[in-house]
Chains A and B, each alone.
Chain A
Amino acid sequence: MIVPSTVGTDPLSGIDQVIHAPARLRIVTQLYVVEAVDATFLVNQTGLTWGNLATHLRKLEKHDYVTIEKGYRGRKPNTVISLTQLGREAFRSYRELMQHALGDGS
């Protein structure tokens, strides 16, 4: 029988599952280093499909981590995405937790 001896002390137990998913982590990391990007740039940078990106952004928006603004560039629709203050703090906490858990400052 395996005894879960690390239960309660597991540094990853409090990890933010919204950010932890690889695709969302990629999106949030990309948004963290800039003020805002449009959806085309985010698709190009993350390598996600439009449908996938929309699904993950909806989830991030539901948790108030991103804002999505619909607008126009010329006559064509254009969506601008940025990280909210809450999203920035969540990403910072996530990084600190991961650094603590991995213990190598990465």
Chain B
Amino acid sequence: MNDQDLRALERQTFRAATDDGLWDVLIAGVFAMFAVAPLLSASMGDFWSSAVFVPIWAAAFLLIRTIRARVVAPRVGTVTFGQDRMRKLKRLNIVLLVVNLLAALLGVIAALGAQLGWLNLGNGSLAYPLGLGLVVVVGFTGAAFVTGIWRYYIYGLMLAIAPLVGEWLWRNDLASHHGFPVVFGVAAGIIFVGGVVRFAVLVNGHPLPPHDLPV
């Protein structure tokens, strides 16, 4: 057993302890906003149509934590990881934070520029879908690389392509709101179903242990 085998075992251990499908459900919830917010913006305005999701995400996050503590942990068990893994996760958090802040900053600059008249990307510009796709790819690739959960690569690719497909649908009069309700609705639905299936398989394969260790 060489160092590579031990690293592979550590990665497998991390996946076994954390890949319960519940993150997928939360990710689906986040991207569902991209599908629903454009439909709400006419009645609620651009800000509130997105902001209304924040308490929903917070509630979903708390619910997932509770499910993880009451359903997953007693069946799968718990692990305290070493410093290397914790450093990797910290780095991933920093990358995700930087990517999100950068995306938010670019969004604010684009919005201000359009409002004040010094930036005109045009309503049908590919800059928005390409920018959004790039942010999504970077975020999901980082998450997939650190966690070793390969389906995050697929999610990243799917969500990166989604705005471009949406733009195409919108330009061909096949969908409203730049196609966001359709493409992000479908993508969020696929991720949600994937997460629920993963969770169901995990719970089914790990019955509650009958007792604690008789030591």
Contacts and interface: CB of A to CB of B under 8 A. Distances in A.
Interface stretch (B92-100, B140-148, B171-179, B207-215): B207-215
A93 interface: no
Given A36-B80, A57-B213, A73 B206 contact: no
A79 B10 contact: no
A79 B211 CA distance: 11
Interface residues of B, number: 27
B78 A50 contact: no
Nearest to A39: B213
B60 to A, nearest CB: 22
A57 B76 CA distance: 19
Interface stretch (B1-9, B36-44, B126-134): B1-9
A37 B10 CA distance: 12
Contact of A40 (B2, B76, B80): B76
Given A41-B79, A73-B74, 4 more contacts: A54-B213, A68-B215, A79-B212, A79-B213
A38 B2 contact: no
Interface string A8-29: 0000000000000000000001
